[in-house]
Amino acid sequence: MVQIRIHGRGGQGVVTAAELLASSAFLDGLYAQAFPSFGVERSGAPIQSFVRLDKQPIITREQIYHPDILIIQDDSLLAEEEVLAGINKKSILIINSQSNPAELEKLLKNKINRNNIYSSPATAIALELLGKNLVNTVILGSFAQATELISIKSLMAAIADKFAGKGTEIINKNKDAVLKAYQYGKKA
């Protein structure tokens, strides 16, 4: 079982990110579970959501205290103590940040090895292709590239399904942004 914790701020689509990630894994043939931290969501407040992936039905329902993978949608969240709770040297970090893995390793006081840190220029890509700083889908492109736990094809399908009501323009813009984040990671 792989346990993923997503950190973001109210309004950044933290819960949607969990749903999309889990839906993609489901489309790839896995069992998946996604749930929010059930807080009262206030715009800008730190929010968490949780994803589990496995080859067999998932039974546990506790929140994720020891994540294998952390997704951080906004690097200002690193100031929050709870964001890094329960990580170990093997934990993988996917973070929306301008800093490179070596700089982030230093910032995190070596709590995560730089080889396990994936820095995603999600904000830059979102501003360029979506026209606003909405990174929840974009960072999943980096996730797909870094972890290979979900296929880019399923991620595209999950996005098309989730945003079906928002029209093809929004879907296509999100797909382009996700693909750019995915390809950026490949080059890096």
Interface residues toward another protein, by CB under 8 A: 18-19, 22-23, 26-27, 31-36, 38, 40, 56-63, 65
Looking at the Cβ atoms of 35 and 124, the one nearer to another protein is 35
Q: Which is nearer to another protein, 40 or 79 (CB)?
A: 40
CB 140 to another protein: min, Å: 15
**Which residue's CB is nearer to another protein, number 57 or number 167?**
57
* Least Å from the CB of residue 81 to another protein: 18
CB atoms within 10 A of CB 82: 11
For another protein, the closer of residues 26 and 75 by Cβ is: 26
- The CA–CA distances, whole Å, from 81 to 31, 163, 179 equal 31, 33, 32
Taking the complex as a whole, the smallest distance from the CB of residue 180 to another protein amounts, in Å, to: 26
Nearer to another protein, 35 or 133 (CB): 35
- Report the nearest approach of another protein to the CB of residue 90 (Å): 19
- CB 94 to another protein: min, Å: 20
CB of 24 to another protein, least distance (A): 9
Q: Rounded CA gap, 148 and 169, in Å?
A: 27
In SS3 terms, the chain reads as CEEEEEEEECCCCHHHHHHHHHHHHHHCCCEEEEEECCCCCCCCCEEEEEEEEECCCCCCCCCCCCCCEEEECCHHHHHCHHHHCCCCCCCEEEEECCCCHHHHHHHCCCCCCHHHEEEECHHHHHHHHCCCCCCCCHHHHHHHHHHCCCCHHHHHHHHHHHCHHHCHHHHHHHHHHHHHHHHHHHHC
Of the two residues 43 and 65, which places its CB atom closer to another protein in the complex? 65
